[in-house]
Amino acid sequence: MPDARAIPTGGTQTGDRVFQGITTAVALAVVLVLLAMTAFLVVRAWPAVRTAGGDFFTERQWFPDAEPARFGIAALVWGTLVSSVLALAVAVPVAIGSALYVTEYARAAVGRWIGYLIDVLAAVPSVVYGLWGLLFLVPRMVPAQRFLAQHFGFIPLFDNPDGAYGKSVFAASVVLALMVLPIVAAVSREVFRQVPGDLREAALALGATRWEVIRTAVLPSSRSGVVGAVILGLGRALGETIAVALVLAATFDVNLHILRPGGNTIAANVATKFGEAGDVGRSALIASGLVLFAITLAATVAARGVIRRTAAAAR
């Protein structure tokens, strides 16, 4: 048996150091890009924040280039959060259900093709979703919106005292749900496939049904991964621009009536207002982008905390 001390290791150690240096540089580059982006947003947003003062967070109008300037992000933040949460409420059950069917029930060939078809939705450009929503979905959702208002109007969310329907937060949320669905489904599908087969076989050996296997073995082991998938979908919904701009009738109000035409989001407002904005207007739009950046970062940090606690509890 050859002496281990005689095996040359210099080349391997050099390769390890080079690879470690490359990966460290890449990681630092990502951090530097993030810091540079944050610094740019803060510097360019400061003039607008200084002009608006505390009203920047409470004002529901958007006239940054007027004299005097009146603008704020209250309505924009509200529309962004409501539309994104509603989109997740629609998309997540469908996405997780499809992922469970593909991995737990369907035959391999059938599940593979269903997965392909769902993934195709992720390749559709945003503007196509927006045009489809504007020209096809919104007119055909009027009966459904009227039904919700007539039968569930006692819930403030579905109350529509004006009786007008069309380009509403509800319609925008459905379009966003279709855009979020393939992301959540694809990640959840891969997470479910990583569950050890021994857990499924043990549950089946104890007499568990297929649903009991999913409930007791698959879902608990996949909880942290599913949370990560939902957060990825939330990030897509928060930052979506063109589709929402086409489907929403831009207004600056804060209310719970998701069936009433109107509403706006931060990303859609940036897309529609940037071309005509003056110096203060551009600064105000960048400031709203900084707020969206902060919201996304906060959601990601909160999700990481949930994933960490879930993983610790599983161990």
User: Using one digit for the tens of pLDDT, what is the confidence trace for 130-169?
Assistant: 899 889 988 888 888 888 888 888 888 888 877 788 888 8
Q: What is the mean pLDDT of the chain?
A: 85
For residue 265, count other CB atoms closer than 10 A to its CB: 32
Mean pLDDT of 174-194: 90
Mean pLDDT of 276-293: 89
Domains (ranges, CATH) in the chain? 77-279 (1.10.3720.10)
List Cα–Cα distances, 43 to 36, 128, 283, in angstroms. 11, 35, 9
User: Using one digit for the tens of pLDDT, what is the confidence trace for 2-28?
Assistant: 555 555 555 568 888 888 889 999 999
Name which of 124, 85, 137 is nearest 247 in CA terms: 137
The three-point CA angle 32-34-38 to 5° equals 115
Residue 67 token pair? 């004299």
User: Using one digit for the tens of pLDDT, what is the confidence trace for 81-116?
Assistant: 999 999 999 999 999 999 999 888 888 888 888 888
pLDDT of the residue at 311: 64
Q: What percent of the chain has pLDDT over 90?
A: 20
pLDDT value at 1 more than 50: no
CA 143, CA 169: separation in Å to the nearest integer? 16
Residue with tokens 């060939």: 109
User: Using one digit for the tens of pLDDT, what is the confidence trace for 239-270?
Assistant: 888 888 888 887 888 888 888 888 888 888 88
Mean pLDDT of 165-176: 88
